[in-house]
Amino acid sequence: MKQFLMSIFCLFAMVNLYSQETDLETLMKQDWANLKKYSAHNEQLKSELSGNAVVFMGNSITEAWVNASPEFFSDNNYIGRGISGQTSPQMLIRFMPDVVDLHPKAVVILAGTNDIAGNTGFSSVKMITNNIKAMAQLAVANDIKVILCSVLPVFDYPWRKGLKPVDKIEETNQWLKEYALENGHIYLDYFSEMVDEKKGLKKEFSEDGVHPNQKGYSVMAPLAKTAIQKALNQPN
C-alpha cells in the first residue's frame, strides 16, 4: 500500500511539473498586445517614410479600412496600424513601436469601442480615457500631431449583447472632444455623421452595427483627411 501511494504521489508530482513547464512555455509565447504583427514592416518603413507620414492607430475598424481602401492609405502617405479586437491598453503598449518609432507627422487614434464591449475585461470610461490620454501625451512628447477620433455609434455588440453601450460611448466622446479642445488636438467626429435615431450605427454604413462597410468608410475618409490637414497646418 505504501509503495502504491508513493507511486501515486510521484505521478502527481510529474504531472504538476509538466503543467508548470507547459504554462511557462505558453507564457513565453504570449504577445498580449500583438507587438509582432507590424514589427517587420515597421523596420522596413523606417528607411522609406517621408516626413509627412500619418499613422492610423486603432482596432478592427482601422485594420479593415486599410484592406477595404488600400489606395486611400498609399496615396496619402497614411500608415494603418489597426489590430482586430484590440482595446486601448493593448494599443498603448504598442504605441511606441507602431507609432512613435516611425516618426510620423501626425497620429489618428481611434480607440475605445472594444473596451466598452469588454474584450479584455471590464473598462470604465476613466480607464479608457486614461489610456487614450497617455497615447496623446506620448505623441506630443515626440512632436507628433494628435487627432482623436470619436468612438463610432453602437446600439448593441453582436458578440456581447445586452451591454447597452450608448451612454458609455457618448460619455467617452464628450471627454475626447473636451480633451482635444483643451490640449490643442483635433477632434475627429465620425459619430455625428454616422449615428441613427437609436444612437446606433446607420444600417447603410454597416452590416453588423459596429464595423463600417465600404459606404461607411466613404463617409469617414473625407472627415479624416480634413482633420489631418487641420492638424498638419497647426503651428509647432
Model confidence over 48-96: pLDDT tens digits? 876 789 999 999 999 999 999 999 999 999 999 999 999 999 999 999 9
The Cβ of residue 173 has, within 10 Å, a number of other Cβ atoms equal to 22
Mean pLDDT, to the nearest integer, of 222-234? Answer: 97
pLDDT at 76: 96
How large a percentage of the chain has pLDDT more than 70?
87
Mean pLDDT, to the nearest integer, of 175-194? Answer: 98
In this predicted structure, the answer to whether residue 149 has a pLDDT above a threshold of 90 is: yes
**Band (8; pLDDT cuts 50, 70, 90):** very low
CA 151/CA 159 separation, integer angstroms: 18
pLDDT digits 0-9 by tens, 101-139 = 999 999 999 999 999 999 999 999 999 999 999 999 999
- List CB contacts of 126: < 8 A, sequence separation 6 or more: none
| Contact by Cβ (8 Å): 66, 80 | yes
pLDDT at 25: 61
**Band (223; pLDDT cuts 50, 70, 90):** very high
In this predicted structure, the answer to whether residue 22 has a pLDDT above a threshold of 90 is: no
DSSP conformation class of 232? H
pLDDT at 23: 63
pLDDT at 210: 98
- List CB contacts of 176: < 8 A, sequence separation 6 or more: 129, 132, 148, 149, 150, 151, 187
Of 106, 100, 120, 118, the closest CA to residue 149 belongs to 106
pLDDT at 235: 86
Residue at grid coordinates 467626429: 189
| Contact by Cβ (8 Å): 108, 147 | yes
Considering the chain, what is the average pLDDT of its residues? 90
CA 33/CA 10 separation, integer angstroms: 39
- List CB contacts of 123: < 8 A, sequence separation 6 or more: 87, 88, 115, 116
Cell of 100: 512613435
CA 65/CA 72 separation, integer angstroms: 9
DSSP conformation class of 203? G
Sign of CA pseudo-dihedral 196, 206, 173, 182: negative
